[in-house]
């Protein structure tokens, strides 16, 4: 049971049940100012000692040196070859830290991370680097944590520091730091993927490269079958790592396999595992399955939890906007931004404001959209915030400022896969559409095709999935190609688990009606308009896009 001390007797029982060969028992004793460290390997079946090693540390500051030497000695005594011991024998103080206090803070951070999530772990990792400013692995975990809570700019600074210090780590940690550096700092997803694949090849028993591929890389490129494959492998390698179940759950959600997603969650519960991502996934499933009571339960669960409350509130705001309840969405978005600010997540707060601005622009409220976009940029100029603002301004018809932001994104993120092959083509295509150049817009979006189905944002919720598809659909409408437009817009409706409650999921229905009208298919045109108007039956009556839809539908009757 949780909380029970792992005594030698219980450890041997666990060892037998897991089919292991031996238990490592350890002790540390203080003798005056010195410390005696002992490691002993005991056979699970017989209880006999297989090997032992001991070392003395002259003081507390040299305990990790002594532990490292006993580890090397016992590995040799247990039969590991001299060559592999020498190859994979980074001194412990280099692989982690020479500071016991820093190591303790780091270890506590890991425990909190597993149970309460990234936001709660950050103070422990920060304390670790305060105690040891050269603690590479702690910087790396700070980078991961800040990425997860929607602070990619801050995450990049920590990850960059970890990369600079990566030679002070062991082999697996070097791969880990390199992988997150390529993903979070340069944004080069292909290089990050290759780093993870090499990591998995060199360390085939580690689940980490698999769950990083499943959670951080393949969702961004829309490789959702690979998400499931890698997450399954991570679960197989370590069935007690909750994050692997969370990524497997999301993989099934992306593929619209909601029953399997729920079964994965139950499997994790059966192992008494918890993870904040579970609740985000449960909310998204409930949204797709039209279960408002379950959606509200997940929002209620997050209340008062820093770093989590804002995520669920934002999901609630998106759901309100999806049904045209824009005034309600504005208020909930404000609450989400306030919650993020209170949790110290300035970039995530700005991201919520930029999303609210984009909704206003998509729904036809150009001036309100531009006001909120300016407010978002005052909070952050991070990659995703700036993209959201640029898209807002493009939909608000502000071509001059859109052009300036396009140039800035292109210059600041030259290697970033998503910026270069998703964000910029989308913005340039919308910019071309604003100037009446539909054919140019369609051509501009060709390079986005391999990445257009990805849940691309670096923040905690993939709010900008399939925007290249939506803009391409608009471009075909502008070119009076109804059949091609309908095919693009249908992609959005066919990817419920990816698009979820994004506003384009609702607006695609309206655009689809226009595509059918171009084809002269009156029954399908009527049905699509009715579908959109039924979805927005409880919407605010003064939304410009709704008024326009009613006018268009009225002309058909």
SS (H, E, C) 170-214: CHHHHHHHHHHHHHHHHCCHHHHHHHHHHHHHHCCCCCHHHHHHH
CB 453 within 8 A of CB 255: no
Q: Are 168 and 94 in contact (CB under 8 A)?
A: yes
Per the CB < 8 A criterion, the answer to whether 143 and 212 are in contact is no
Whether 466 and 498 have beta carbons less than 8 Å apart is answered as yes
In order, the DSSP letters of 62-90 are: GHHHHHHHHHHHHHHHTT--HHHHHHT--
472's tokens: 């391409």
Among 206, 274, 269, which residue's Cα sits nearest to residue 242? 274
In contact, 516 and 524? CB cutoff 8 Å: yes
Tokens of 432: 């071309």
In the numeric block, the tokens 């408002």 are attached to 292
Closest C-alpha to 292, from 279, 281, 301, 283: 283
Q: Where are the beta strands (DSSP E) in 18-177?
A: 22-31, 34-43, 49-57
Q: Distance (Å, rounded) from C-alpha 417 to C-alpha 92? A: 36
Give residue 176's pLDDT.
93
CB atoms within 10 A of CB 216: 22
d(CA 415, CA 378): 25
| Mean pLDDT, each 10-residue run in order, the chain (557 residues) | 81 87 90 91 88 90 86 89 79 79 92 82 95 94 88 90 91 92 95 96 95 94 96 96 94 96 97 91 96 98 93 96 97 97 92 96 98 96 94 97 97 96 97 97 97 74 83 98 98 95 96 97 96 97 97 91
Structure tokens at 454: 């990805």
Provide φ and ψ at 164, rounded to 5°.
-65, -30
pLDDT at 2: 67
Query: Residue 41: what are its φ and ψ, rounded to 5°?
Result: -100, 125
Q: Is 433 exposed, middle or buried (0-12, 13-18, 19+ CB in 10 A)?
A: buried
Point out which residues pair with 465 in neighbouring strands. none
Query: What is the Cα–Cα distance from 490 to 486, expressed in whole angstroms?
Result: 6
Q: Are 366 and 404 in contact (CB under 8 A)?
A: no
The C-alpha atoms of residue 209 and residue 275 are separated, in whole angstroms, by: 19
Q: What share of the chain is helix, strand, coil (3-state, %, to 5)?
A: 70, 5, 25
Please state the separation of Cα 284 from the chain's center in Å: 14
Stated as kind and residue range, the H or E segment containing 422 is: none
pLDDT for the residue numbered 462: 59
DSSP string, 232-290: HHHHHH-TT-HHHHHHHHHHHHHTT-HHHHHHHHHHHHHTT---HHHHHHHHHHHHHTT
| Contact predicate 153/172, CB 8 Å | no
**What distance in Å separates the CA atoms of residue 177 and residue 106, rounded to the nearest whole number?**
16
> CB–CB of 322/506 below 8 Å?
yes
pLDDT given for residue 276 in this prediction: 87
Burial 342-370 (b: 16+ CB within 10 A, else e): ebebbbbbbbbbbbbbbbbbbbbbbebbb
For the segment 287-317, what is each residue's pLDDT rounded down to a tens digit?
A: 999 999 999 999 999 999 988 999 999 999 9
Which residues are within 8 A (CB) of 496 and not within 5 positions of it... i.e. 6 or more apart?
256, 288, 505
User: Looking at residue 44, what DSSP letter applies?
Assistant: T
Q: What tokens appear for 211 in the block?
A: 């769950």
Question: How far from the centroid of its chain's Cα atoms is residue 463's Cα?
Answer: 11
3-state secondary structure of 428: helix
Distance CA 368, CA 355 (A): 12
**What is the 8-class DSSP label of residue 98?**
S
Spatial CB neighbours of 100, under 8 Å, sequence gap ≥ 6: 60, 61, 63, 64
Q: Can you give the pTM of this predicted structure?
A: 0.87
Cβ-contact 444, 425 below 8 angstroms:
yes
Give the per-residue pLDDT at 63: 87
Spatial distance between the Cα atoms of 445 and 426, rounded to a whole number of angstroms: 7
């Amino acid at each position: 049971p949780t909380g029970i001390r792992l005594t030698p007797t219980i450890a041997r029982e666990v060892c037998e049940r897991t089919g292991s060969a031996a238990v490592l028992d350890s002790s540390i004793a203080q003798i005056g100012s010195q410390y005696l460290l002992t490691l002993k390997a005991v056979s699970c079946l017989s209880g006999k000692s297989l090997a032992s090693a001991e070392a003395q540390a002259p003081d507390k500051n040299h305990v990790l040196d002594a532990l490292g030497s006993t580890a090397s000695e016992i590995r040799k005594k247990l039969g590991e070859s001299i060559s592999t011991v020498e190859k994979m024998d980074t001194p412990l103080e280099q692989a982690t830290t020479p500071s016991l206090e820093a190591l303790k803070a780091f270890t506590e951070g890991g425990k909190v991370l597993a149970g309460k999530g990234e936001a709660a772990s950050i103070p422990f990792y920060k304390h670790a680097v305060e105690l040891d400013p050269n603690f590479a692995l702690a910087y790396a975990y700070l980078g991961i944590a800040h990425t997860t809570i929607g602070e990619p700019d801050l995450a990049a600074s920590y990850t960059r520091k970890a990369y600079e210090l990566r030679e002070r780590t062991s082999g697996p940690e070097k791969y880990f730091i390199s992988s997150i550096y390529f993903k979070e700092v340069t944004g080069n997803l292909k290089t990050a993927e290759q780093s993870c694949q090499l990591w998995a090849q060199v360390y085939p028993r580690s689940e980490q490269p698999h769950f990083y591929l499943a959670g951080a890389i393949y969702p961004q490129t829309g490789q959702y079958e690979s998400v499931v494959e890698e997450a399954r492998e991570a679960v197989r390698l370590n069935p007690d790592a909750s994050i692997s179940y969370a990524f497997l759950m999301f993989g099934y959600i992306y593929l619209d396999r909601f029953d399997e997603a729920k079964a994965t969650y139950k499997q994790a519960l059966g192992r008494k595992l918890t993870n904040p991502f579970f609740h985000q996934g449960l909310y998204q499933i409930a949204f797709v399955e039209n279960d408002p009571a379950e959606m509200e339960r997940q929002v209620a669960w997050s209340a008062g939890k820093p770093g989590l409350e804002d995520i669920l509130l934002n999901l609630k705001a998106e759901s309100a906007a999806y049904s045209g309840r824009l005034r309600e969405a504005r208020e909930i978005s404000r609450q989400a931004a306030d919650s993020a600010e209170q949790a110290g997540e300035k970039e995530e707060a700005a991201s919520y404001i930029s999303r609210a601005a984009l909704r206003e622009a998509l729904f036809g409220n150009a001036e309100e959209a531009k006001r909120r976009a300016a407010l978002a940029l005052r909070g952050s100029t991070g990659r995703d915030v700036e993209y959201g603002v640029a898209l807002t301004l493009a939909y608000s018809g502000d071509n001059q400022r859109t052009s300036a932001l396009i140039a800035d994104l292109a210059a600041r993120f030259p290697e970033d896969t998503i910026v270069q092959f998703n964000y910029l083509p989308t913005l340039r295509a919308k910019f071309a559409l604003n100037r009446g150049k539909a054919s140019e817009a369609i051509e501009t979006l060709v390079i986005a095709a391999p990445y257009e189905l990805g849940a691309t944002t670096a923040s905690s919720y993939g709010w900008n999935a399939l925007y290249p598809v939506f803009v391409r659909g608009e471009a075909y409408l502008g070119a009076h190609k109804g059949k091609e437009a309908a095919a693009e817009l249908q992609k959005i409706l066919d990817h419920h688990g990816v698009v979820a409650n994004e506003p384009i999921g609702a607006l695609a229905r309206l655009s689809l009606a226009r595509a059918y009208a171009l084809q002269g298919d009156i029954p399908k045109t009527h049905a699509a308009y009715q579908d959109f108007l039924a979805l927005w039956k409880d919407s605010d009556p003064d939304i410009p896009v709704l008024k326009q839809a009613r006018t268009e539908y009225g002309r058909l009757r």
